[in-house]
Copies of this chain bind each other. A is one copy, B any other.
């Protein structure tokens, strides 16, 4: 016997109707009272099912107007970027982090702006590489906003990667990304051990606590060798 909760049964039934096309965008979904009658449950149970579907974006609810199937987003798609380590080990390679440099210096103007920091202010710069077996998988240039995370100055990042330490020790509320492709110049080619001119995938990431930037990371991948794979929904 199915001991799946009733609200879940209701959700599944409605979801099936929507995904099968039996209910199209804009169509009215039965009201809470109606569903409660159909499934022989209380209005609260029907309400919960509809509310959760609304939270997931499948339906739109308005008082008095009732519930209708949400218009297909048309908009975007959510993808998940796994952590480097997860990505590498998921492909069956051995993971290794190598610290290249760690210095206390003033970042370039672009970076300073991204960090919301004053020009010339000194912050922490950590540069490292993530290896997949014998090949460089990612080159990681990170600036840590010392105004937000002064404790980072006391950390030696030779053992822990900056990414890892930050995740463990610094709370954040949001992350902004920018993904682009570029051709490797001399320095990048050397760092990644590829030929100059190779196409690289670059991910720039600013993590924030509220609206205060915590870190700026610039991650480079040899794009011809590896690719980021993301999952559904």
Residues of A within 8 A of B (CB): 18-21, 72-83, 86, 164, 167-168, 171, 173-183, 197-202, 205, 208-209, 221, 223-224, 226-233
Contacts and interface: CB of A to CB of B under 8 A. Distances in A.
A177 B82 CA distance: 12
Nearest to A170: B21
B180 A183 contact: no
A75 B79 contact: no
A177 B79 contact: yes
A109 to B, nearest CB: 19
B180 A223 contact: yes
Task: Give the number of times this chain occurs in the complex, counting copies.
Answer: 2
A137 B201 CA distance: 17
A169 to B, nearest CB: 9
Contact of A232 (B167, B174, B178): B174
B77 A177 contact: yes
B201 A167 contact: no
A106 B200 CA distance: 32
A78 to B, nearest CB: 5
A221 to B, nearest CB: 7
A76 B173 CA distance: 14
A20 to B, nearest CB: 7
A222 B121 CA distance: 34
A17 to B, nearest CB: 10
Contacts of A232: 173-176, 208
